[in-house]
Amino acid sequence: MPVNLYNFSSWARSTIVPLLVINNHRPVYKLPNERCYTAMDGLWVSGTDRNVPYVPPLRQVLVKHGSSWKSFVSVMELMLKIYERFKLCSLRRYAIAKCMKFVVEDQEVQGDTAGIFPPMAYGAIAMTLEGYSVDSEEIVKALQAIERFSWETDGQYRVQSCVSPVWDTSLATIALLDCGWSPEDARLEGAVQWMLNRQVLVEHGDWKVYRPRLESGGWAFEYFNSWYPDVDDSATVLISLFKHDRNSIHRSNAQRGIKWVVGMQNRDGGWGAFDVENDKLFLNDIPFSDMDSLCDPSCPDLAGHILEMLGIYLQISEEYNQVEPHRSLRAEAEASLGRGVKYLRDAQEIQGSWFGRRGVNYLYGTSACLCGLAKIGFPESDTMVSRAVEWLKECQNDDGGWGEGVESYKDKSTMGKGIESTASQTAWAVIELLAYLPSSELSIKRGVMWLLQNLRPSEEPVDAYEGGVRVPVNYSRGKTWREEHFTGTGFPNHFYIRYHLYRHYFPMMALGRYAQSQSYATSS
């Protein structure tokens, strides 16, 4: 397959294209005041020496890598720099026009682009450089979208890289249901309806390039992102729908969602987040590769979540296995499961764990995979499961909790360990052990005890959202867990995310499932 724009990941495409336009103009902006210069000093080890090369010198690359793809692309970069001096204006105008067409069409009606800050900011800059007025509809919408990602506190103006309302709502719904919350509670019913209203049903999106006949039906991570629905979010939303109401399997929303997720499976049996067969990792050697994130390959944690979702669906729909549309949908799901299990077997580390792409790290990936395998009835006697369970038990800290640092992305010797116990990671470990072991297991009891002993009064403000705008409400009077470490991952080795709700809903899931397991053991 030739390398083209769609061999790059969705976030790379949306960021690179406006940057090409900006690079053509290479604008220089003066910072507004001296305070900004002082703040910028933090970007350098020494504020007096700001000449930091983006890539190593070409000679150093050639000596280190010899005749390789990396050396080739480094030479090509030098040739392109030479070409810049003698660029063909007519060809450049054609290329810029194509880029601007992409930038404008990629913008949502609400002004967002790809659901993340960089393409929203770069798109607005590119449009102004290409003659768009600051009063134009496109620029105004882009600035409004950026403002929805922003808030002012303690005299500082902050901008988030992204927001995660669909992800958080689905996981919070699962947590409340696991804790015994009534499905008929108006707040839960409202959350479910809110998620249903945000299903992406428009027949466009970059995923359509390689799946043109697949009908839309996924969910995005953010409020507004119709071009890039997310496989992981879609699986989690479907799990929350099935847990809330078993009869939701009959909804056309759910059936379209399942078909879309199954249809996004890669040939290796796994799933990427937004794209299909987006696994040309050699592209990360291109000098402009930012954070080694030009690709969106299959990830074990995504596969685990999808297997869990499909397993729940197959359990509920078993009595309808001879009735359409469930008969054909079940056949698709079962075929997908077979490929998914093979992928997980191939992706398992020799230690018994699985890599976690969206959460830190092997604790997250292993939790997702074991929960998925348990839901499809995969036996504990299988070595793939038993190795994972034993690895997890070995990672438990002396205090009964679990904690894994971001260093494990670079150094596998810290896999599953490295930091003090955290609430979210302890919860992941308890959840995955409960998937296969009885609640009387000592490691589970110690993990639950850690969660109970580290519950603290909450003194944080509780915010509500109206149309994506943050509205302060009051201060929480409940209890929760504190968590200083980052346990969410943007791009491994480069960019990490603090999901502020992880330390709330994952421990709730763990304690709720432990209580359910205790009740089951008592009744038995």
Sequence-separated (6 or more) residues with CB below 8 Å from residue 457: 478, 479
Q: DSSP label at 296?
A: B
Helix intervals (H) in 26-68? 34-40, 58-65
Give the Cα separation of 417 and 51 in Å (integer): 37
Output the 3-class SS for 415-440.
CCCECCCCHHHHHHHHHHHHCCCCCC
The reply to whether 232 belongs to the active site is yes
Give the Cα separation of 117 and 18 in Å (integer): 13
The token duo for 267 is: 């040939």
| Annotated active-site residue in 168, 206, 230, 232 | 232
Instruction: Report how far apart, in Å, the C-alpha atoms of 223 and of each of 50, 106, 298, 400 are.
Output: 38, 15, 25, 38
Sequence-separated (6 or more) residues with CB below 8 Å from residue 111: 120, 140, 141, 142, 143, 144, 145, 224
- Evaluate the omega torsion of the peptide bond into residue 325 and state whether it is cis, within 30 degrees of 0: yes
Cβ atoms of 298 and 272 within 8 Å: the answer is yes
Sequence-separated (6 or more) residues with CB below 8 Å from residue 55: 61, 74, 77, 287
Q: Are strands 469-475 and 479-480 parallel, antiparallel or unpaired?
A: unpaired
Exposure b/e, 192-202, CB count within 10 A at least 16 = b: beebbebbbee
Task: Report, as residue numbers or ranges, the catalytic residues.
Answer: 232
